[in-house]
Amino acid sequence: MDMGKGAVVVTGASTGIGEACARQLDAQGYAVFAGVRREADAARLREHASARLTPIMLDVTDAASISAAESEIARAVGDAGLKGLVNNAGIAVAGPLEFLPLGELRRQLEVNVVGQLAVTQAMLPLIRLGHGRIVNISSVSGKLASPMTGAYAASKFALEALTDSLRRELRPWHIHVAAVEPGVTATPIWQKSLQAGDDLAVELPPQVFTLYGPAIEVSRRSARHHAKGGGTPPVMVARAVFHALTARHPRARYPVGRDARIGTFLARMLPDAALDRLLGGR
Ligand SMILES: NC(=O)c1ccc[n+]([C@@H]2O[C@H](COP(=O)([O-])OP(=O)(O)OC[C@H]3O[C@@H](n4cnc5c(N)ncnc54)[C@H](OP(=O)(O)O)[C@@H]3O)[C@@H](O)[C@H]2O)c1
């Protein structure tokens, strides 16, 4: 197999940011292992890609799937190992925390946090071999927790912590670990999250809507707006990922998009009371 400039794994590459990263790295001459969960996505990814791009079945919540993916990648890359791992797979669970079914919170954390570390643990021997780097796709929600997205924000705050600890733990081996922190990005995640919200709504007691109806509507209105394509193009996030993987002096974190930069600044500068007034309900 042609390894080009080196091999990189991207999780959750079927759509959105992951697909943009996979295509960008492929175009730049890397051998990309693009994680997907459906054959149809594998076939679509192969279109307009070089022969170096290999779709690979990878569910980040399934230990057997991670292990099978790691074995396949290890066989293909041999002693060259990996130049990079982009932990991108993610979902967005929304709803008021008072009523959020705990199973939904667990699902959110399982995909966005535990899954990221599970894949990282599996790939680290190959990253050591290849003197590679790790990039975690976090979010401005890892800095600023808004109402109705507490579960998602919890997952991204946790991912920020994992990223920082891992970067400091792996420092002796010069394995860089970066967090890419996009703001609103134009991807299918918004439509998927709205759909998941519809599915959840039928399970919740009517009281939820009496108490939180207006706040839910504000949150859904903005999600509907983003689902129509409002936001930073995913290719901008892919550019930050590329910098984190290849630059001589990679940064520890990369806010992407004006909203992410402003959000990060406000989270750092404003006192909690001001943030509560800005983001909170009546
Ligand atoms: N879009 C934004 O505004 C935004 C902002 C900040 C951060 N982010 C982050 O960016 C990352 C990518 O999201 P996106 O916006 O590009 O959304 P997306 O288009 O919905 O992509 C999410 C990807 O994750 C995959 N995925 C979900 N569950 C998985 C699992 N258990 N195992 C493996 N893959 C799984 C999906 O695969 P399937 O197609 O098989 O479901 C899909 O490929 C996420 O971590 C998200 O939190 C997004």
Contact 143, 96 (CB under 8 A): no
Q: How far is the CA of 116 from the centre of ligand 1 (A)?
A: 12
Give me the pLDDT at residue 230, please.
82
At 20, list the tokens.
């943009």
Give me the pLDDT at residue 281, please.
65
Is residue 282 scored above 80 in pLDDT? no
Domain spans of the chain, in order of start: 7-277
Give me the pLDDT at residue 2, please.
87
Look up the pTM and report it. Answer: 0.97
Q: Per-residue pLDDT tens for 217-250?
A: 999 999 999 999 889 999 999 999 999 999 999 9
Q: Give the residue, by CA position, lying nearest to ligand 1 atom 46.
A: 90
Establish whether residue 149 lines the binding site of ligand 1, counting it when its CB lies within 6 angstroms of any ligand atom.
no
Q: Closest ligand 1 atom, CA of 15?
A: 19
Following DSSP, what letter does each residue of the chain receive, concatenated? ---BT-EEEESS-SSHHHHHHHHHHHHTTBEEEEEESSHHHHHHHHTTS-TT-EEEE--TT-HHHHHHHHHHHHHHHGGG--SEEEE-------S-TTT--HHHHHHHHIIIIIHHHHHHHHHHHHHHHHT-EEEEE--GGGT---TT-HHHHHHHHHHHHHHHHHHHHSGGGT--EEEEEE-SB-STHHHHHHHHHHHHHTTS-THHHHHHHHHHHHHHHHHHHHHTT-SB-HHHHHHHHHHHHH-SS--SEEEESHHHHHHHHHHHHS-HHHHHHHHS--
> In terms of C-beta density within 10 A (0-12 exposed, 13-18 middle, 19 or more buried), how is residue 9 classed?
buried
Q: Per-residue pLDDT tens for 107-129?
A: 999 999 999 999 999 999 999 99
Percent of the chain with pLDDT over 70: 99
* CATH class of the region 7-277: alpha beta
| From 30, 152, 212, 254, the catalytic residue | 152
Establish whether residue 91 lines the binding site of ligand 1, counting it when its CB lies within 6 angstroms of any ligand atom.
yes
Q: What is the overall mean pLDDT for the chain?
A: 96
Q: Per-residue pLDDT tens for 37-80?
A: 999 999 999 999 999 999 999 999 999 999 999 999 999 999 99
